[in-house]
Structure 1
Amino acid sequence: MRPSIAIALVLVAVAHYAHLTGAAGPKVIIVGAGMAGISAGKRLSDAGITDFVILEATDRIGGRIHKTKFAGLNVEMGANWVEGVGGEQMNPIWTMANKTLQLRTFFSDFDGLSKNTYKEDGGLHPEDFVKKRIERADEVEESGSKLAGTLHASGRDDMSVMAMQRLNDHLPSGPSTPVDMVIDYYKYDYEFAEPPRVTSLQNTQPLSTFKNFGDDVHFVADQRGYESVVYYVAGQYLKTDKSGAIVDPRLKLNQVVKEITYFPSGVMVKTEDNKVYRADYVMVSVSLGVLQTDLIRFRPQLPNWKIVSIYQFDMALYTKIFLKFPKKFWPEGPGTEFFLYASGRRGYYPVWQQFEKQYPGSNVLLVTVTDDESRRIEQQSDNQTKAEAVEVLRKMFPGKDVPDATDILVPRWWSNRFFKGTFSNWPIGVNRYEYDLLRAPVGRVYFTGEHTSEHYNGYVHGAYLAGIDSAHILINCAKKNMCKYHVQGKYD
């Protein structure tokens, strides 16, 4: 390249940079209006940083907390439970849901599973037999918690949950019977959306959510939706009308961010409709799944350490399938809310829930699948899924007149380019060091989301607390000039 051309290009770059840094615009751009992004906005606002915009790709706030109409009800496509209630510490989400908003919630009692585990070809497995298998699995889990407490904090000695089971001589050849498979699935996949062979022992045993906040979980069945918690947080700093709808011009919906350019003294964000937003900082609150795609291009490319940290974590998939029937054919009464299908195919329509209390008279069932089954189901028609689920129910209840389902709701979080999954799962060997790298800012680009919550990833309260934590890091830089983010060595 000739020197004159090189100088000209430098002058163009300098002119563009001067235009960027001198442009009027919000001090902060928040990308994403899920719980973490909305929580971060409130923390910034509380600190006096109110000059910001929130760019949300969809036509609503809430992210993976999303109610939708189904069979005359509002049901939750994503997050449905407040998990971690009844302990010494108060879960902040439970405070808002239960005390402030007084949402209609129901305690979820799983103690009746031993008498509600169905055979693959119909009828119930003997209660005593199932109870003994569950008790054995509980013993092994408790032993795993004790073992996890002895491992080095760096994660260098971490192992899979499955490896821990083998060390305890539990299912030494793997869960080979249908009953052992469905119990194993209920204990691990149903919570983490991935199987024990890929789930970290150290990061899940014991689980901080239940250790700190309590063992109880409460199902949100309020027709206002679980997302009303997000709207409550947003309403504390975003302008609303008399109906409670957000009318604040700083919230911009249907703005799909495609590019984030960052400079030493500012950032520039471009959207798919060719709008350009400029600011001093940007807070990226999109899901881990989105970060692992090319939906958003970073310019310059994120440093290697950041890219590696993003791909060291898993974006799991948890699918709640709702089915509407013209009549009931399943047991009702105390201890029958949850029931299991012990199939010879692990994870095949395994965990069921009826809504006698939550949605009385609705004739609606919920079945949960995860991981590979979720991906398989997302790629087939709803009619195919409906036929499979009804076939399973007819096998479970051979003496009953099981009608065809009249309606079905199949969320497709994995196929949705704005989410690419439901929540993060920390794999084997990942610990505080990798978490610090995942959360760490890159220049003026900050990161938040449930995946950046060191102790509560995958949970609504994790997203809420992560938004506060990441905003605090930005505030320290913007207001106190404390911009260096220290990552302690992995083995320090």
Structure 2
Amino acid sequence: MSYTFFLLAVFTFQSLLCSTFAQPVDVSVDAQVLIIGGGVDAIIAASTLNENNITDFIILEGSDHLHSHLKKITFAGLEFAPGNLWGNSPAKATIQNFHESNYSSYTVYTDEGDDITRVAIKRETDLVAAFNFSTEAIIGDIEEGARPDLSQKATLARGGWIATSAVDKVMEWFNFDFDEGRSARDISTIQAFRQNVLIGPEKYFLLGNRTALDRLASILTEEQVRLNQRVRVVNQTEGFVRAVTEDGIEYTGNYTIVTSTVGVIQNGGITFDPPLPPWKSEEFCRFQMGTIDPIFLKFDTKFWDDTEFILHANDRHGYYPAFLNLEAEGLYPPGTNILIGFLTGEEAYRAELLTDDEVKAEILNVLRNIYGEDNVPDPVEFYMSRFATDPDLYGTFPTWPIGIIPEDAQTRLRANVGRVYFAPEGAGNVEYIGIPRGSFRDGAAAAEAVIGCLLEDECDEYSPVEPGAPPLCQDVKPYNPNKRRKNFNVRLLSTEKKFE
């Protein structure tokens, strides 16, 4: 093949590829936009499309309900959302019924039933001192790129904190794992610091309230939502996108917004045809999913302490380390008789592979070691969340990996690949990763990009230049996640009144 002919072939291939994603071709499609997944991002994306008079979309949700990890359950006559028991400071004004958690109200027991709360308070003081000393010393250099990011475990060790005893391990879990759903060795110091500054340390236990999301979901029509349609393949070709469910049902659209969690992508829950480019798949695989599994136990009588939390000090890090007393001051009235136990990270995953009876036996053994064999009856009701193995989630929420550049990661996670756009369930937002507000913004950003393509013929394309290789399409404008288009509404929920 001559060199001239080779160049002509390359140019022709590039032109065809660019034109493939430039305009929808005249094919019979089920909807202009397919939205894969039915979480917060999907509902906000759909709401944003609706607000801009784009109603020809279909949400394809794998389970029998929308917003999987925010699904409500009724337990002992009370309503809970196990995947979102707590709100945070930015959402405070939107919550109508809440209790501000008191993380200083705890009692700590050993496996032998010894009350070691005084020792635990002293060790928590040492932990906080180590955290403050080390973070203050290095956070500026990390922010400026003068030194690499560290795991929270390394940052604590730099400040003199090394958890070796059972009481040290439970206090470390209570201060770090309980927030992030992962061990301190997997938590990014810079992102934990940013989250604390942006969101604040306060947490608000939600007393059965999630009105804003319910209200938005209620606007969707039956034609716009397809439940029990778990998408396994996303194929884009010749100007449209085809989504194929695990039952072999095909849906076609001009564009699609994938709102699946990074956990679903990492675990091969969706096959992309053609495959995602390396820069995209690599970014998804760098992220982590945090898992917090609440375990609800209803008893006939209350046998535990009046403090808000009962902590269990064990040599095995994270082994049924905490229980929330729902009769603590400001929560539910006497006679509620409900404890919620918690597992996170690897221990949550391990327990999810057990049966309910096996988990119940383990957690009751812990409570009976603390309060005495004869004082702890069998629960009259039991419920355990299983987020780590849920095929629509593979975790409770995304967390930043150690050592990334957050703004660059946001660009790559949100960036479209041709006609496939992404709203990665709260992972693509620097400010509010892993919380509903971040999911709101991810969903709105993806919808905004699709609206721009549909209404203004401004289709984004992100094409990173690999070392030694020219961009595939020279005339494609760089992807800019901060670009603001002014001719349509964008539901970014930047003002609290939009929650009301």
Report if aligned partners of 1:145, 1:206 keep a CA contact under 8 Å in 2.
no
Q: CA offsets, 1:224-250, max 9 Å, x none? A: x53x43212223xx35xxxxxxx4311
| Correspondences of 1:309-458 after superposition (within 5 Å) | 309-332=283-306, 336-356=307-327, 357-360=330-333, 361-398=335-372, 401-432=375-406, 433-448=408-423, 449-458=425-434
| Correspondences of 1:75-474 after superposition (within 5 Å) | 75-83=80-88, 85=89, 91=90, 93-96=91-94, 98=95, 102=96, 104-113=97-106, 116-127=107-118, 129-146=119-136, 147-152=138-143, 157-171=148-162, 175-207=163-195, 210-222=196-208, 226=210, 228-235=211-218, 238-239=219-220, 247-263=221-237, 265-332=239-306, 336-356=307-327, 357-360=330-333, 361-398=335-372, 401-432=375-406, 433-448=408-423, 449-474=425-450
Q: CA deviation at 1:430?
A: 1.9
Question: 1:185 is paired with a residue of what secondary structure?
Answer: helix
Query: 1:150 and 1:38 mapped to 2: Cα distance?
Result: 39
Q: CA deviation at 1:310?
A: 1.0
Q: CA offsets, 1:372-427, max 9 Å, x none? A: 11111111121121121111112222397221223321111222212212111212
Mark the CA change 1:156 to 1:271 in structure 2 (over 3 Å): closer, same or farther. Answer: farther
Partner of 1:47: 52
Partner of 1:57: 62
Q: CA deviation at 1:283?
A: 0.3
Query: 2:135 and 2:449 mapped to 1: Cα distance?
Result: 32
- The TM-score normalised by the length of structure 1 is 0.83
What CA RMSD, in Å, does the superposition of the two structures yield over aligned residues?
2.7
Question: 1:451 is paired with a residue of what secondary structure?
Answer: coil
Any stretches of 5+ residues in structure 2 without a counterpart? 1-19, 467-500
Q: How many equivalent residue pairs?
A: 442
Q: CA deviation at 1:148?
A: 2.0
Partner of 2:459: 483
Question: 2:343 is paired with a residue of what secondary structure?
Answer: strand
Query: 1:169 and 1:216 mapped to 2: Cα distance?
Result: 26
Mark the CA change 1:331 to 1:276 in structure 2 (over 3 Å): closer, same or farther. Answer: same
Report if aligned partners of 1:34, 1:230 keep a CA contact under 8 Å in 2.
no
Q: CA deviation at 1:458?
A: 1.4
Partner of 2:15: none
Question: 1:78 is paired with a residue of what secondary structure?
Answer: helix
Any stretches of 5+ residues in structure 1 without a counterpart? 1-15, 86-90, 240-246
Query: 1:327 and 1:131 mapped to 2: Cα distance?
Result: 29
